[in-house]
Chains A and B, each alone.
Chain A
């Protein structure tokens, strides 16, 4: 099983809402990632988790709050977002940070902030 799943596929939220994105993998990977992709742009790294601990935060605003409850699950909690945060949010996983293997990506969550 080389699948990374993400839910929901689509999300529309107002600027005062609180919502969460979910990512799951069952490949035994110990590194998980959140990327943000704006329309017609390449993905940009937001957060990296290694062994359930946050190892990289690429200067992401605090209205995005990641959480890694266990080695298979990665959440992204959203609060007080802005319309410019509308994008495709991609989750990825890899075997481990010290093991430079490939990253597997999920299908993404298309987020629209109104």
Chain B
């Protein structure tokens, strides 16, 4: 059974810093990996999707990498802003056609003004 772990569970940094969130998964047979953002009490906003054949994806100040063989992904946030404060969730879609996503527990990020 696929398990997804995110480190750290919580992170608080001053505005302007670059930061890295980590995600690991136990079964490397994945179709894709998605990073989401969730604000308190809200739904999920998709940030980046990396297909299993890709190594990284970029969107604005966000860069996500994937090392499928080692079961790891990182989300890099450049020049952090207070508006980046949220919980960041990593999710993988595993093998087989009829699969939903398996989520990590998330990293709760606070950017101090």
Contact = CB atoms under 8 A, between A and B. Distances in A.
Interface of A: 6, 33, 35, 41-45, 48, 50, 55-56, 58, 88, 90, 92, 97-98, 100-108, 110
A102 B44 contact: no
Contacts of A33: 100
Most buried by B among A41, A98, A103, A106: A103
Most buried by A among B51, B100, B103: B100
A105 B100 contact: no
Given A33-B100, A35-B100, A107 B42 contact: yes
Interface of B: 31-32, 34, 36, 41-46, 49, 51-52, 89, 93, 97-106
A55 B34 contact: no
A35 to B, nearest CB: 7
A43 B51 CA distance: 21
B43 A48 contact: no
B44 A43 contact: yes
